[in-house]
Structure 1
Amino acid sequence: MYPPGGYPGGYPPPPPYYGYPPPSAIPKNGLGIASLVLAIVGLLFVWSVFGGVVLGLVATVLGFLGWARVKRGEANNGGVAIAGIVLGIVGIVVGLAFAAIWIALWKDVGGDNYFDCLDRAGSNRIRQQQCADQFRENVQDRLSVTLTPTP
């Protein structure tokens, strides 16, 4: 009888089949894309402090994180990440400029005086209404507009 494992002098087993190559890594472009989208949305709402400054800051951070992925070879959208960084910084700068404009306008129409008046009025509804009327008059005088009172 033959020993276990096959015939003596037989052919060797066939070589194993070649496997499929490992799957190629899918680029992780999400941070760069998110940076650009948030920067664009921030620029659309740059007149509000939230839109320009907050979204611009988040877009800039995400853009730098996306650019780091490009440098490591994990992403391939370096241009998108850079665009998100640049537009995010523009949003921050323009948003801060708008914030300065809003603050100056608020002080010009007597916004600080309005809050002081409301503090002094306490819970007295008549005094609160007088504060609102005086503030409305200040806005109309300073900006040369006529505001329609709400009931």
Structure 2
Amino acid sequence: MSTPDNREQYQQYPAGQSEPFAAPPAGGGYGQPVVAPRNGFGVTALVLGILALVLCWTVWGGIVLGVLALVFGILGVKRANRREATNKGVAVSGIVTGSIGLVIGVILVVLVGSIFAMFGSQLSDLQDCLKQAGSDQSQVQQCEQQFSDGVQKR
């Protein structure tokens, strides 16, 4: 009994088939080129949100920076959802910190505005009285006492 030659078995392939370990066709099979993530909106939102928290006691810091942090954070989340960015968590953190800074800033503006509305006329009266008093200490004390009495009545 003779054994068939193994080389003949591997050299004969059915029609339309190539070798079992053939190289892939030239120029194909590599997919799309990898694009670097665009994480700028998320990072910007977080930085602006932190600044909004730190500067929330100012109108510019709390309100303006808070709004900007919200805008950049939303844009960063949208970019991450489209898989153009990889830092969705950073963008969400920017939204949260910006919102907190914005809310604190608005509360402080409303609080200061209401205090000024309540005591604004008394402050202008105090300023007028102090201008008229000049350097006379007894009149200055009298002006301060009138202002204090007016505040206590309210």
Distance 1:53 1:93 in 2: 8
The Cα of 1:33 is off from its aligned counterpart by 0.3
What's 1:99 paired with? Answer: 109
> Aligned runs of 1:27-106 on 2, under 5 Å?
27-106=37-116
The Cα of 1:36 is off from its aligned counterpart by 0.4
Distance 1:130 1:72 in 2: 64
Q: Any idea what the Cα deviations from partners look like across 1:89-109, whole Å, max 9, x if unmatched?
A: 111111111111211232344
Unmatched 5+ stretches in structure 1? 1-16, 119-126, 144-151
CA contact (8 A) 1:106 1:112 kept: no
Secondary structure, in 3 states, of the residue corresponding to 2:64?
A: helix
The Cα of 1:63 is off from its aligned counterpart by 0.2
Distance 2:62 2:121 in 1: 23
Distance 1:105 1:37 in 2: 32
TM-score, normalising length: structure 2: 0.60
Q: Any idea what the Cα deviations from partners look like across 1:8-41, whole Å, max 9, x if unmatched?
A: xxxxxxxxx87xx775211110110000000100
Percent identity of equivalent pairs:
36
Secondary structure, in 3 states, of the residue corresponding to 1:73?
A: coil
Task: List structure 1 runs of 4+ shifted beyond 6 angstroms.
Answer: none
> Which moved further from structure 2: 29-38 or 89-98?
89-98
Letter of the 1:46 partner, please give it: C
What's 2:131 paired with? Answer: 130
Unmatched 5+ stretches in structure 2? 1-25, 135-139
- Of 117, 120, 125, 1:110 maps to 120
Distance 1:111 1:59 in 2: 37
- How many residues are treated as equivalent by the alignment? 114
Secondary structure, in 3 states, of the residue corresponding to 2:72?
A: helix
Q: Do the aligned partners of residues 80 and 25 (structure 1) sit closer, same or farther apart at CA in structure 2, a change above 3 Å counting?
A: same
